[in-house]
Structure 1
Amino acid sequence: MTALVRHLPPTHLVRWAARAVVTLFALAAAVQPVRQSPLVTGCALAVTVAAALLIAEGRRGLLAFFVVSGAGVVVLGNGTPSKVGWFGLCVLVGWCALVGTTRATVALWAATVGTLAVEWAVTVGDAGWGAWIAGTTFSAFGCLLARRERDLVKRLRIAQEGLADRVRAEERDRIARELHDVIAHSLTISLLHVSSARLALDEDPVEADRAMREAERLGRQCLTEVRQVVGLLRHDEAGTMAPLPGAAQLSTLVDQFRRAGADVALTTDGDVSVLPNTLGLALYRILQESLTNAARHAPAARTAALLAVTSTGAVLVVDTAGVGGSVVGAGSGLLSMRERAQMLGGTCVAGPVDGGWQVRAELPLRPGTHP
């Protein structure tokens, strides 16, 4: 029996417990000395119990069953405030507050209080009815408050589930952006090295070997970064968290493109070491995507990057000269750059400027951070 009760849903427990309590109080009122005939008492007891058993969540006419069951209690305890059967009214009103609507609860409470007030008025010299009015009122509004808290908990759980789904989706998007930037950059540079090696294979085997080794190194580096992004490789050989690239690695990034044969220049104005890690990573990825697009869609064009660090944030401008709109590509990289900037409260725009192509990213320092 204990195991059965443990597995019953809470609503079933409330319903069956309330039925049992109403039945017990009705029986207690029936066996006490009564003024009615045994036939009236028996009928009232049967009506009370039958109506209580028919009360269920979602049943149409729920308020009518509560009223009929309450009327049976009134008949059983009529004119005698000392009867414990009046507790049945408190249970019915509280039960209605838990499983019915607020309007139905208020209507049942008003009818119950009115009935008790009439009993008080016709019973001269007996003030016990006031206690039943107070008990019924406490049961009604106490259970309404309990139901409100229960519904609030349900809504909070639904909101938490929705928030968890949103966080998971945002994490998937973040990983997708990181993978796109890492793989696109590494493949572009590797292809440049492979092309250089192919051209130099007959005339300069040493240069061809160097280019192939560099392509191999970039492939391994790409694999390491991919594992880091998806969480498969969390620590380096020393057992510490492997750091993500930041503003301090911008010159290394530009050198990779230069070694692959791209015409790239980087100018820095300000101290990049004071930038927060999140802002430095965004700058690195935006410059990485800009240089990758330039190398992929305009490999012969010159690209100049300027990073200015101020007291309010950082501005990165990447100009690819003389290529017009040919650097635009498929658009997923540009979307990724815009999303990175927007996540930090900044902006990133890209488009043709003076016959070339320009990417301009402005990333502000968040409140509480100072360069």
Structure 2
Amino acid sequence: MADRAARVIAPTMLALFAVVGAVMGHRSLPVGLVLAASVTAIAAATAWRGLVEWRLAVPLLVAAAGLVAIGHGNSANLVWMGFCVAAGWVALVSTLPATLTVGGVLGLTLVSEWAQQTEEPGWAAWITGTAFTLVACIFARRLRETVRQLEAAQHQLAERSRAEERTRIAGEMHDVIGHALTVSLLHISGARLALDEDPDEARRALAEAERLSRSSLEEVRATVGLMRTDAPGERAPLPVATDIGRLVDSFRSAGTEVDLTVTGDLEELGPTRGLAAYRIVQEALTNAVKHAPGERVTVAVTVESGTATVAVRNGGDVDASAPLGNGLLGMRDRAEGVGGRLRAGAEQRGWLVEAVLPS
């Protein structure tokens, strides 16, 4: 926008001051107008082609020579305002070397005029005005470039934040939906098996699957920001470490043998680390049920001096060469997101997931 403005305003002002200078000058008016027309033509052609850098510097210096021919020896002639215009034009659209070269030539020209007519009082003002315009426009160009860089950086930061938020939500959705589907399928399978022999047990299993599905739906809404419950002003909170007991109970009710040991106060973890601990246990239990169905699982959560250690072990045969899935990568990201670490791998018999979440 500023470059386009410079290409429109600057040549117009050069033409205006050249014509005014021709009228005010000591030369005959026809000669002055011919020189002014030449300056105007050079400025218009330069602006039309959108020249910058050295390709702009050369025609501007030629136009400045025409201004000198119009106002030579007369510091009271407004034609010297064209020097300020030329200095500002090159400074707004060119880099420092070309700008300083044009500014230096213009300044030396004015100094030369002053040396030839020392009795003229206005040369110092033109030198000062040209220098001031040059410096001001250099700073204006630098400021404009800084603003552009800041806008680009802000745009990149916003894009990165959106990408990180999408990744975070995808991780939450993966954990919530994976747990809900796994445990619900266990209940539905149990209900199918008990449908003929024990209808009451089948109904209980289906009711538990329905309850878990509703609970998981609330977590999904909370994850994506639609966290309002039926009561106005209330919000469905995300789970924390103290909810691990209820999480384990949901797997137990679906027929999985899970032993839970808690040492220390889970409330010390707070909401952020508590959510990370909950999701790690949730994903580890879901993987255990999926890959080692029927095997006993042990969950141990220890909080000591503010540092939490979460260990989930399950039995069964494990393929140690299998690649890490999204679940394990998500658990590792959660642990590292709160400054902790996570290791997962095969033991002598079974699989261990262990996370350390420091205070």
Structure 1 residues 132-281: aligned runs within 5 Å? 132-281=126-275
1:100-144 CA-to-partner distances (Å, cap 9, x unmatched) read 222211110010011111111111333422221111111111101
Instruction: Name the amino acid aligned to 1:26.
Output: A
Q: Given the alignment of the two structures, is residue 66 of structure 1 paired with residue 57 of structure 2, yes or no?
A: no
Instruction: Name the amino acid aligned to 1:221.
Output: S
Contact 1:327–1:357 (Cα < 8 Å) also in 2: no
Match of 1:295 among 261, 283, 289: 289
Q: Residues of 1 paired with 2:289 and 2:164: CA distance? A: 30
Q: Residues of 2 paired with 1:316 and 1:141: CA distance? A: 63
**SS in structure 2 opposite 1:125?**
coil
Q: 2:103: which partner in 1?
A: 109
Q: Residues of 1 paired with 2:174 and 2:209: CA distance? A: 18
Q: 1:43: which partner in 2?
A: 34
Q: Residues of 2 paired with 1:119 and 1:208: CA distance? A: 105
**SS in structure 2 opposite 1:159?**
helix
Please say which of residues 352-361 and 289-298 is displaced more in the overlay: 352-361
What is the deviation of 1:327?
11
What is the deviation of 1:26?
1.3
**SS in structure 2 opposite 1:55?**
helix
Please report the TM-score for the alignment, with normalisation by the length of structure 1: 0.90
Please say which of residues 37-46 and 94-103 is displaced more in the overlay: 37-46
Identity of aligned residues (%): 47
**SS in structure 2 opposite 1:275?**
helix
Q: 1:18: which partner in 2?
A: 10
Please report the TM-score for the alignment, with normalisation by the length of structure 2: 0.93
What is the deviation of 1:58?
4.1
Match of 1:31 among 8, 23, 42: 23
1:197-253 CA-to-partner distances (Å, cap 9, x unmatched) read 122222222111111111111122222222222233434525222100010100000
Q: Residues of 2 paired with 1:106 and 1:327: CA distance? A: 66
Please say which of residues 351-360 and 127-136 is displaced more in the overlay: 127-136
Q: Given the alignment of the two structures, is residue 361 of structure 1 paired with residue 352 of structure 2, yes or no?
A: no
Please say which of residues 9-18 and 333-342 is displaced more in the overlay: 9-18
Q: 2:335: which partner in 1?
A: 341
Instruction: Name the amino acid aligned to 1:211.
Output: A
Match of 2:46 among 55, 69, 77: 55
Q: Residues of 2 paired with 1:33 and 1:217: CA distance? A: 95
The list of structure 1 runs, each at least 4 consecutive aligned residues, that deviate by more than 4 angstroms after superposition, is: 326-330
What is the deviation of 1:323?
3.3
Structure 1's unaligned 5+ residue stretches are 1-8, 366-371
Contact 1:298–1:326 (Cα < 8 Å) also in 2: no
Contact 1:293–1:327 (Cα < 8 Å) also in 2: no
Instruction: Name the amino acid aligned to 1:45.
Output: A
Pair 259,246 (structure 1): closer, same or farther in 2 beyond 3 Å: same
Structure 2's unaligned 5+ residue stretches are none
Q: Residues of 2 paired with 1:142 and 1:107: CA distance? A: 16
Q: 1:124: which partner in 2?
A: 118
Q: Residues of 2 paired with 1:362 and 1:330: CA distance? A: 19
What is the deviation of 1:321?
2.8
Q: Residues of 2 paired with 1:87 and 1:111: CA distance? A: 15
What is the deviation of 1:86?
0.6
**SS in structure 1 opposite 2:129?**
helix
Q: Residues of 1 paired with 2:130 and 2:109: CA distance? A: 11
CA RMSD for the aligned pairs? 1.9
Instruction: Name the amino acid aligned to 1:347.
Output: R
What is the deviation of 1:188?
0.6
Q: Residues of 2 paired with 1:164 and 1:173: CA distance? A: 14
**SS in structure 2 opposite 1:262?**
coil
Q: Residues of 2 paired with 1:345 and 1:40: CA distance? A: 80
1:175-196 CA-to-partner distances (Å, cap 9, x unmatched) read 1111111111011101111121
1:39-71 CA-to-partner distances (Å, cap 9, x unmatched) read 542332112111121223742621122111111
1:277-334 CA-to-partner distances (Å, cap 9, x unmatched) read 1111111111000000001111221111111112242111111134333796861100
